Structure 1
């Protein structure tokens, strides 16, 4: 079973919708489970983990409603305001929802230091006791904060979305690699092979290969999850093209580990209980 560990759906007319806006016309339309299933099935992918795209409780509730109606949606990574007065109650409630497997606070849009605020301590404690995972949507500028966060909560299961969104070229590559190496030292930290082409240009395949080589070297084939980042990936390439590219990368840097990268690791990290 191939599991896509990172896909989105959204409704642009929903009151809580913030992104994408009309300037991204190629993806500024509704995407729902039916669209997802069609594109996924055409590529031979069996199941999905839905990931939030809007910082709204209503969006998380909607994702869970849609997932409940489709057995191929194995899990949902939702959003919650982790500093709200009722954060502990809200996250505790979400943890009881059958397909809620983790939370993603969209750190890339938040101020530096946000993740290190002691006000988060009670709700991080809930994540630990309930077994919810933490999706870290960061850019390289947030990696030092994430390093400090992981050191503070070494037992929290964390996955780096889009491999930490490294620059595909330039001097910042080594700083990104150094931070990733520290994070990879913690066995509770995983990494998604996703979103790499979206951050660059179609002609930057060599840079993507270099990043993938680094990720495989640091995390090994047992802590890397493949994700499409659909429909955002379509801004740069097709769903099937990214899957094909990713399989080539896995064959180059972790030969024989396709079953782990494209399914088993997502199953283990998110606790999906899929029959693989």
Structure 2
């Protein structure tokens, strides 16, 4: 059964509650700035809750700390961010519900990409359960149509009008060809290393095969923390332009999506504002329409996140 999108299916009280907050957030944007910014990749967790967390590990000096919506908003709202799609990293099934409960209390969370494993015997039941919540917009998983459970998972995602976040692997083009209705979002620019020079054409080929399918999107993310071969990551946009240009040539203005990967982005040694400034500079040079698409319109098309205001 396909779900209605673009509307809040929660109670009218909950839907109207964030209206004043969103107006305040937009009020901080300067005249002529981007009308809305949706960060499509954040992680929320609390190592100090009673049950602890399976990730990150205690010896992770950068990430083993509280990372909750209020911590994120303190950094992101001043940069014009108006909402986020959270991506679940925890393998604990009930942590999907934990995030949905966070979203129920904070409409800044406009979507959740859940963590469910297609080879779990209970996958179908879990997906049915979480898909009933309109905040649940998809899953992050490796789905391969060469495997029976992968084929079944893809069919369920299509049936529920949910998207798939995935790393780039050889099965992605085949998956996209088999299921043209399945919206696929490739994470972390497909794993392309960034060293300031032209990317290796061989490393771009698989991405090009995936991009040939119109329902495949790419998150322009991890530029500093995961893909930069230089640390601390450079803040000059020119360092990233060769890879950004290659992605633009493959996906165009309609299928590139903004995301920060906070708090993993802290591994870059740079601040949230530094990370956003690089992509803002690049896409602003492409024009107002391309900038709006990158920062929120393309995310709306890929995730069908809900408008949580009246």
* Counterpart selection for 2:166 from 124, 131, 136: 136
Q: Which runs of 5+ in 2 are unaligned?
A: 1-35
Q: Which residue in 2 is equivalent to 1:154? A: 180
| SS across alignment from 1:56 | coil
Greater Cα radius of gyration, structure 1 or 2: 2
Q: How does 1:24-103 map to 2 (within 5 A)?
A: 24-103=60-139
Displacement of 1:152 after TM fit? 2.7
Q: Which residue in 2 is equivalent to 1:183? A: 210
2:258 corresponds to 1:226: yes
| TM-score between the two structures when normalised by the length of structure 2 | 0.79
- In 2, are the aligned partners of 1:21 and 1:28 still within 8 Å (CA)? yes
2:271 corresponds to 1:238: yes
Cα RMSD (Å) of the superposition?
A: 2.3
Counterpart CA distance in 2 for 1:48 and 1:39 is 13
- In 1, are the aligned partners of 2:114 and 2:136 still within 8 Å (CA)? yes
Runs of 4+ in 1 over 4 A off after TM superposition: 13-16, 169-172, 204-207
Aligned residues: 265
* Counterpart selection for 2:222 from 189, 195, 202: 195
Select the structure with the greater relative contact order (CA < 8 A; seq sep ≥ 6).
2
* Counterpart selection for 1:117 from 147, 165, 179: 147
- In 2, are the aligned partners of 1:52 and 1:60 still within 8 Å (CA)? yes
Q: Which runs of 5+ in 1 are unaligned?
A: 108-112
2:249 corresponds to 1:217: yes
Q: Which residue in 2 is equivalent to 1:260? A: 293
- In 2, are the aligned partners of 1:184 and 1:190 still within 8 Å (CA)? yes
Displacement of 1:47 after TM fit? 0.7
Residues 98-155 of structure 1 show CA distances to partners (whole Å, capped at 9, x for unaligned) of 20001002x4xxxxx96631222222211001101000134xxxx2222232223232
| SS across alignment from 1:12 | coil
